[in-house]
Amino acid sequence: MLTLHLPDGTLRVAMAVAVAPDLSQQLDRLKQSWRQPVPPPRPEWQFVYQDGVQVEFFCNPNVWPTPFAAQVLVTVRHPDIHVSTQISLPQLLADVNAWVTMDT
């Protein structure tokens, strides 16, 4: 279960552990996109997971000056609930890395 540490609480989402390495690699590439010599616009990043619950992560790196300031929109949908919030990119990286480490 992925645990996201949000500014105002914690959100736990049941996601298959098999997606953790891919999500972690994509987040690392997103973070590295600020180091690319290519001038903006950088491509927007989106990751969607769906298996009973739908989890979406979205970030537009063109809005943020550095990866340390970047915010990622998190949306969790289920037939009975819909939650949208933001998490900092560094916090999301830490949470996903903890999830990968804990479940491997």
Quick one: pLDDT at residue 102? Answer: 78
The three-state secondary structure class of 79 is coil
Please check whether residue 3 is in contact with residue 12, taking contact to mean a CB–CB distance below 8 angstroms. Answer: yes
Rg for the chain, CA atoms, rounded: 14
Please check whether residue 103 is in contact with residue 17, taking contact to mean a CB–CB distance below 8 angstroms. Answer: yes
Closest by CA to 44, choosing from 13, 72, 75, is: 72
What CATH number is given for 2-103 in this structure?
A: 2.30.31
Kindly give the confidence (pLDDT) of every residue in the chain, 104 residues in length, as a single tens digit, with 9 standing for 90 and above.
999 999 999 999 999 989 999 999 999 999 998 887 766 788 899 999 999 899 999 999 999 989 999 999 999 999 999 999 999 999 999 999 999 887 55
Task: Calculate the dihedral angle through the C-alpha atoms of 73, 101, 90, 15, rounding to the nearest 10 degrees.
Answer: 0
Domain ranges of the chain: 2-103
